[in-house]
């Protein structure tokens, strides 16, 4: 009795700020505790579930169902979504994941105490029930309940069924409610899991080995991005949350593995938009003796295969735009694309002052550290061309200035063997023939340090550990990074990256 009283009086501060409906639900919970029916210590065993019952019996007619299932007892649990009180009987709809089932409860089938428990039942409660399967006169599959147990009391009401959770920001903040009320949201995350599993299956069958590399890293390398920083108390020094998995994976190739990949969380201390989240998931893979061409092939294969496996087709519609994910994808040199769209031919422009002048004429914005021809070319592409790329397009021939980890082209040392894949104006993948010349890599890190001093807060730091690894010899290698979240957006027709991340970061609620 003392323990029961303690359960009734604990956490009085919890009650502060409750509205009348929530207080009423709390009092119902206390009433159940007084009756010795404390849901907080409940347990229940199923012998099937709602989905199985629907699969087994939804197509059976009423008479056949009575013959084969009238004496079979089924125990299931679910969340109460609808209660229709008809005096001495109740109809309840319960939900388990995306499956619903109607329950029929009649007073004559219950003891007085068990029937009384129903008066403490609310929409949102989790219940366990046992009974026989049947169909009503209207043909609805129904469990005729003999026993009911409240497993968890919902102290807050669910959003109103027909209007649901309408506020988008609130949906992201309270994703658990979003999942309860919106089955299409569940389907997105089921599909996300399938996409990742299919990528793993494909790569594993090709001999790639999956690794887990450190999230805490000393250097900001592997990408152009701002880091999150944290402090290690024991080691007494600062670390960065990784902005890429590139460097440790390339060290693994140096160590003798031929094919390595990681699907993991990446952290970049940058803006939030429908295309960007500071914490996101990427695939990075590396292949000894690979190059830009093998990376084009594996990228096409991943996207086409996953689309077929998950959606059953390669011709899809994204936000009312029809595109094809069937390989091969279009390929075009960055300089040729700029000429095609703007008529500016950077093959004929020889000096930076000339390029800077043309950039001003075309209203291409340059930052103070954009002091070489390569930066102007890249800004022309990003500001004038990128958004116009609809169907999957590999843009190749990136300037060396914006590609500090990519191998130069032997026939033109100002460009690199690098591509980025664009679909509907968004970047999906980035790949290159990896830079194996340790001296060139060292010099490029030095150039990045100079850029940082000129104001480039996304510049790569000098990474002496990576230089040391390269000094032992990285074989010719191809590497590719693919944005998982954006791929999920594409294959689920989701307009915002926050729709495909379970718990996206939100600005502080005002």
Tens-place pLDDT, residues 461-502: 899 999 999 999 999 999 999 999 999 999 999 999 999 999
- Side-chain-facing half-sphere of 278: CA atoms under 13 Å: 12
Comma-separated ranges of CATH 2.40.50.140 domains in the chain = 2-158
The bridge status of strand 321-324 relative to strand 126-135 is unpaired
Q: Which residue has the tokens 């409660």?
A: 125
Superfamily for the 181-329+424-448+473-499 domain: Bira Bifunctional Protein; Domain 2 (3.30.930.10)
* Phi, psi of 233, deg, nearest 5: -65, -40
pLDDT band at 162 (very low <50, low <70, confident <90, very high): very low
Tokens at 198, concatenated = 């299919």
191 vs 158, 314, 423, 426, 490, CA distance in Å?
A: 25, 16, 20, 21, 11
Tens-place pLDDT, residues 432-441: 999 999 999 9
Q: Does 328 sit behind a cis peptide bond, omega within 30 degrees of 0 on the bond before it?
A: yes
Q: Tell me the H-state helices in 262-351.
A: 292-311, 334-342
Residue (of 247, 249, 242) closest to 227 by Cα position: 242
- What would be the CATH architecture of the domain defined by 2-158? Beta Barrel (2.40)
Tens-place pLDDT, residues 230-271: 999 999 999 999 999 999 999 999 999 999 999 999 999 988
- Higher per-residue confidence, 347 vs 86: 347
Tokens at 65, concatenated = 């169902």
What's the pLDDT at 458? 83
Tens-place pLDDT, residues 308-356: 999 999 999 999 999 999 999 999 999 999 999 999 999 999 899 999 9
Comma-separated ranges of CATH 3.30.930.10 domains in the chain = 181-329+424-448+473-499
276 vs 225, 265, 273, 339, CA distance in Å?
A: 12, 14, 5, 29
- Higher per-residue confidence, 411 vs 112: 411
What's the pLDDT at 171? 87
- pLDDT above 90: percentage of residues in the chain: 81
Q: What is the pTM of this model?
A: 0.92
- Look at residue 191 and tell me whether its pLDDT is greater than 70: yes
The mean per-residue pLDDT over the stretch 447-455 comes to 90
How many whole angstroms from its chain centre is CA 459?
Answer: 27
Tens-place pLDDT, residues 2-46: 555 555 556 567 777 899 999 999 999 999 999 999 999 999 999
């Amino acid at each position: 009795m003392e323990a029961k009283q303690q359960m009734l009086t604990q956490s009085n501060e919890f009650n502060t700020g409750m509205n009348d409906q929530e207080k009423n639900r709390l009092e119902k919970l206390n009433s159940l505790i007084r009756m010795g029916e404390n849901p907080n210590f409940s347990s229940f065993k199923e012998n099937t579930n709602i989905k199985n019952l629907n699969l087994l019996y939804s197509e059976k007619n009423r008479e056949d169902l009575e013959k084969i299932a009238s004496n079979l007892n089924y125990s299931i649990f679910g969340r109460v979504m609808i209660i229709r009180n008809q005096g001495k009987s109740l109809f309840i709809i319960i939900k388990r994941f995306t499956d619903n089932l109607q329950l029929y409860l009649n007073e004559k089938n219950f003891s007085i105490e068990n029937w009384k428990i129903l008066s403490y039942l609310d929409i949102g409660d989790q219940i366990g029930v046992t009974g026989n399967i049947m169909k009503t006169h209207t043909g609805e599959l129904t469990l005729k309940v003999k026993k009911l147990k409240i497993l968890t009391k919902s102290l807050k009401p669910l959003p109103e069924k027909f209007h649901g959770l309408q506020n988008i920001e609130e949906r992201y903040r309270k994703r658990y409610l979003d999942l309860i009320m919106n089955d299409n949201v569940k389907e997105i995350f089921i599909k996300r899991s399938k996409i990742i599993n299919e990528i793993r299956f494909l790569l594993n069958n090709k001999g790639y080995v999956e690794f887990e590399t450190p999230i805490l890293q000393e250097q900001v390398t592997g990408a152009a991005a701002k880091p999150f920083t944290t402090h290690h108390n024991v080691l007494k020094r600062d670390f960065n949350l990784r902005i890429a998995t590139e460097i440790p994976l390339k060290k693994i190739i140096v160590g003798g593995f031929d094919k390595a990949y990681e699907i993991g969380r990446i952290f970049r201390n940058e803006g939030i938009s429908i295309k960007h989240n500071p914490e996101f998931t990427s695939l990075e893979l590396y292949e000894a003796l690979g190059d830009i061409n093998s990376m084009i092939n594996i990228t096409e294969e991943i996207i086409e295969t996953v689309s077929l496996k998950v959606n059953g087709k390669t011709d899809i519609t994204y936000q009312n735009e029809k595109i094809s994910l069937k390989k091969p994808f279009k390929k075009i040199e960055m300089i040729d694309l700029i000429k095609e769209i703007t008529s500016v031919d950077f093959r004929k422009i020889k000096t930076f002052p000339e390029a800077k002048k043309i950039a001003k004429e075309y209203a291409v914005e340059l930052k103070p550290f954009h002091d070489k021809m390569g930066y102007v070319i890249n800004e022309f592409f990003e500001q004038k061309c990128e958004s116009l790329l609809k169907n999957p397009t590999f843009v190749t021939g990136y300037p060396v200035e914006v590609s500090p980890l990519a191998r130069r082209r032997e026939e033109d040392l100002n460009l690199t063997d690098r591509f980025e894949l664009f679909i509907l104006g968004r970047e999906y993948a980035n790949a290159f023939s990896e830079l194996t010349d340790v001296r060139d890599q060292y010099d490029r890190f030095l150039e990045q340090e100079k850029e940082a001093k000129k104001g480039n807060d996304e510049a790569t730091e000098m990474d002496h550990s990576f230089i040391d690894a390269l000094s032992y010899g990285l074989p010719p290698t191809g590497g590719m990074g693919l944005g998982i979240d954006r791929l999920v957006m594409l294959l689920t027709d989701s307009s915002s990256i926050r729709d495909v991340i379970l718990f996206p970061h939100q600005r502080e609620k005002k």
